[in-house]
Amino acid sequence: MSFDVLGLSAELLRAVGEQGYTQPTPIQKKTIPAILAGKDIMACAQTGTGKTAGFTLPLLQRLCTKPARKGRRPVRALVLTPTRELAAQVAESVETYGRHMPLSSTVVFGGVKINPQIERLRQGVDILVATPGRLLDHVGQKTLDLSQIEILVLDEADRMLDMGFIHDIRRVLALLPGNSERQNLLFSATFSDEIKKLAHRLLNQPELIEVARRNKTADRIRQIVYPVDKSRKRELLSHMIGSHDWQQVLVFTRTKHGANRLAQQLEKDGLVSAAIHGNKSQGARTRALAGFKSGKVRVLVATDIAARGLDIDQLPHVVNYELPNVSEDYVHRIGRTGRAGNEGEAISLVCVDEHKLLRDIERLLKREIPRTVLPGYDPDPNIKAEPIRNGRNNNQGPRGRQQPEGQNRRKPPAKRSGRGRGTGTNPVSGGPRG
Ligand code: AMP
C-alpha cells in the first residue's frame, strides 16, 4: 500500500517522499484516514511505530483546509508531550512534513529561556508543540491564547501521567474550547485505568486504534537476559561492547547517579560515553544526544525519563544495565531499538536482586525472555538477593542515598509558582512560512 491512497495532499506526499518513506506504517494506515475524517482517536501505539507522522500528517492537512491567517493569531493545534526531547523531535517532524505548507509551528519547553519563545509566539503560530509545565508558564504570563485550539494531541499520554502531569493536563484542558468543538487525539503505549479515565473525559466517540497487542514489545526486537553478579555488570558490559564491536549502545540505569558513574567507568575502559538524565542542563543533554547520533559517543547512559522520546534511527542495541522498577518502562526502553522496520537487540544484565523485577516484566509481556549465561560471568550461587531500595541495593556500599529518576511519579506536582519548573521548553523553531 502506498501513501497515495490515504487521502493526503500533494504537498504532504511530497514531504513524505523526500523522507524516503515508500509506504505507511500500520499505525499510519489507520490513523491518517480517521484523523482526516475529523474523528477523535485513542491510539495504542508503541514508540517507533511511526505514530508521529501518523498524527502530524493529517493534522497539517486539516489545518490547511482553512486558510492561514496573517499576523498575530491564536494557536490552532496543540501537541502535548511529556519530555523536552520528545517535544523537540515532534516539532522537527511538524517542520519536516509541513515544509511545503503555509503553516507555522514552534515548540516550547522548560530549561531554556522563555523570552525567545514569547517573541516567537507573538509572531503567531498555527501549531504549538509543548511540554505541560512551560505551556502553563506561558499561559500565566498571558503570552499564549489556547481558546482557539481546533486539534489537541496528547502524545505518550501514559508517560505524562507517570510523570505526574495529570494536574497540569487538567489545567490545560480547562483553557481549551469545549471537547466537542475540537478534535482530540490520544496516543499511549499502554492503557492503564488512569489513561482510560482521561480518555473518557477527553474524547468524543473515539475510534480505537491498536496496531500491536497491548503491552506487547515489538516482535523485531530480540530480547536476551544475561544473569550476572551485580559487581561484574560493568565488566560484562564493556566486554560485550568491545568483543561485538558495538558502535552505538543505549544503556539504561535506574538512577541519575548510577548513570553518571557508569559513564565514567566506561570511559576508563576506553569507551567514549556520555550520561543523560534530569539533572543535566538542556545544553548538556542536547550535546550528549547529538554526539551519540553522530557516532562520536559510543555509549549513551540514560535514565528512563531522560531517554523517553529519543528518536535515534536504527539504534541496534539497548542494554538494561539495571531493570526498571516499573515494568512498563521495560517496554518503553526496548522500544528504542527495532524502530521502523529495523532489527534490534535488547539485552538485560540481571543480578539476583532483580529476579522479582524480571518476573514482573515477563508477566507483563506474557512471555519468558531467554537467558544466556556467558562463560566466565556465571552468577555466584552464594550471593543472596537483597531488596532494592531507593534505586540501589544495600550492598552497593556507602554511596549516599539516591532516588530513581521519576521517583515522584504519580504524586501531584508542587503548586506552580508561575516560573519554569525545569520540565518542559525549547529553543524556538519553525518560522512562519508561505
Ligand atoms: P515514531 O514512532 O513516530 O517515533 O517514528 C519512528 C521512526 O520511524 C522515525 O525515525 C520516523 O522517521 C520513521 N518513520 C515514520 N514513518 C515512516 C514510514 N512510513 N516509513 C519509514 N519510516 C518511517
Structure-model confidence comparison of residues 385 and 212, the more confident one: 385
In a domain, 275, yes or no: yes
Is residue 200 a part of any domain in this protein?
yes
Q: In terms of domains, do 30 and 94 share one? A: yes
pLDDT band for position 416 (cuts 50, 70, 90): very low
Cβ of 312 below 6 Å from ligand 1:
no
- Say yes or no to pLDDT of 260 above 90: yes
Q: Are residues 306 and 337 in the same domain?
A: yes
The pTM (predicted TM-score) of the whole model is: 0.62
Q: Between 73 and 153, whose confidence is greater?
A: 153
pLDDT for 313:
57
- Kindly indicate the confidence band of residue 249, based on its pLDDT and cuts at 50, 70 and 90: very high
- Under the banding of pLDDT at 50, 70 and 90, the label for residue 300 is very high
| The pLDDT of residue 136 | 96
Query: Using one digit for the tens of pLDDT, what is the confidence trace for 148-164?
Result: 999 999 999 988 998 88
Q: What is the pLDDT of residue 239?
A: 94
415 found inside a domain: no
Q: Are residues 119 and 190 in the same domain?
A: yes
Q: For residue 24, which atom of ligand 1 is closest to its CA?
A: 19
Q: How many CB atoms sit inside 10 A of residue 147's CB?
A: 9
Q: Is 335 in the pocket of ligand 1 (CB under 6 A)?
A: no
Q: Is the distance from the beta carbon of residue 47 to the nearest atom of ligand 1 less than 6 Å? A: yes
Same domain (yes/no): 179, 66: yes
Higher pLDDT, 127 or 210: 127
405 found inside a domain: no
* Domain C-terminal end among 323, 344, 365: 365
Residue 423 lies in a domain: no
Task: Determine, yes or no, domain membership for 215.
Answer: no
Which residue's C-alpha comes closest to atom 11 of ligand 1? 50
387-407: per-residue pLDDT in tens? 776 544 333 333 333 444 544
Q: How much is the pLDDT for 334?
A: 82
Ligand 1: distance of its center to the CA of 19 in Å?
9
Q: How confident is the model at residue 104 (pLDDT cuts 50, 70, 90)?
A: very high
Q: Is the pLDDT of residue 411 over 60?
A: no
pLDDT over 70 percentage in the chain: 82
Place of cell 490552532: 76
Say yes or no to pLDDT of 310 above 80.
no
Residue 262's pLDDT is what?
96
Residue 360 lies in a domain: yes
Same structural domain, 93 and 134: yes
Residue 115 has pLDDT above 90, yes or no: yes
CA of 213 to the centre of ligand 1 (A): 19
Distance CA 27, CA 186 (A): 13
Asked whether residue 134 falls in the same domain as residue 225, the answer is: no
Give the mutation target among 25, 293, 337 for probing the ligand 1 site: most ligand atoms within 8 A of CB: 25
The last residue of a domain, from among 349, 365, 381: 365
| CA-93 nearest atom, ligand 1 | 12
Q: What pLDDT band is residue 139 in, cutting at 50, 70 and 90?
A: very high
Q: Please give the number of the atom of ligand 1 that sits closest to the Cα of 51.
A: 3
**Secondary structure of the chain in the HEC alphabet?**
CCHHHHCCCHHHHHHHHHCCCCCCCHHHHHHHHHHHCCCCEEEECCCCCCHHHHHHHHHHHHHHCCCCCCCCCCCCEEEECCCHHHHHHHHHHHHHHCCCCCCCEEEECCCCCCHHHHHHHHHCCCEEEECHHHHHHHHHCCCCCCCCCCEEEECCHHHHHHCCCHHHHHHHHHHCCCHHHCEEEEEECCCCHHHHHHHHHHCCCCEEEECCCCCCCCCCEEEEEEECCHHHHHHHHHHHHHHHCCCCEEEECCEHHHHHHHHHHHHHCCCCEEEECCCCCHHHHHHHHHHHHHCCCCEEEECHHHHCCCCCCCCCEEEECCCCCCHHHHHHHHCCCCCCCCCEEEEEEECHHHHHHHHHHHHHHCCCCCECCCCCCCCCCCCCCCCEECCEEHHHCCCCCCCECCCCCCCCCCCCCCCCCCCCCCCCCCCCCC
Question: Which comes out higher in pLDDT, residue 424 or 21?
Answer: 21
In the reported structure, the alpha carbon of residue 313 is separated from the centroid of ligand 1 by a whole-number distance in angstroms of 9
CATH of the domain at 115: 3.40.50.300
**Residue 247 backbone dihedrals phi, psi, to 5 degrees:** -105, -15
pLDDT computed for residue 179 by the predictor:
75
CA–centroid distance, 15 to ligand 1, in Å, is 13
- Note whether 22 and 87 are same-domain residues: yes
pLDDT at 280 over 90: no
Ligand 1 atom 20 nearest Cα = 21
Give tens-digit pLDDT for 179-232.
Answer: 778 999 999 988 888 898 999 989 999 999 987 543 445 566 789 999 999 999
Q: Which atom of ligand 1 is nearest to the CA of 46?
A: 2
Ligand 1 centroid – CA 108 distance (Å)? 23
Instruction: Say yes or no: 104 and 36 in one domain.
Output: yes
Is the CB of residue 31 below 6 angstroms from any atom belonging to ligand 1? no
Q: Can you give the pLDDT at residue 342?
A: 60
Domain that residue 322 falls in: 221-365
Residue 60's pLDDT is: 97
Most trustworthy range by pLDDT among 260-264, 362-366, 405-409 = 260-264
Pair 215, 331: CB distance under 8 Å: yes
* Residue with CA nearest ligand 1 atom 21: 21
Q: Does residue 129 sit in the same domain as residue 205?
A: yes
Same domain (yes/no): 195, 229: no
Count of the separate structural domains present in the chain:
2
- Claim to verify: residue 199 and residue 275 sit in the same structural domain: no
Answer yes or no: is pLDDT of 165 > 80.
yes
Q: Quote the CA–CA distance of 388 and 6 in Å, as a whole number.
A: 50
Of ligand 1's atoms, which has the minimum distance to the CA of residue 89?
4
Instruction: Give, using CA atoms, the residue closest to atom 5 of ligand 1.
Output: 50
Q: Whose CA is nearest to atom 9 of ligand 1?
A: 50
Cell numbers that stand for 283 in this block? 545544553
CA 403 centroid distance within chain: 21
What's the mean per-residue pLDDT of the chain?
83
Nearest to 274 by CA among 246, 249, 237: 249
Count Cβ atoms within 10 A of the Cβ of residue 368 and give its class: 0-12 exposed, 13-18 middle, 19 or more buried: exposed
Is pLDDT larger for residue 308 or for residue 26? 26
Q: How far is the CA of 93 from the centre of ligand 1 (A)?
A: 10
d(CA 124, CA 218): 40
Co-location of 110 and 243 in the same domain: no
* 133-137, 185-189, 336-340, 401-405: least confident range: 401-405
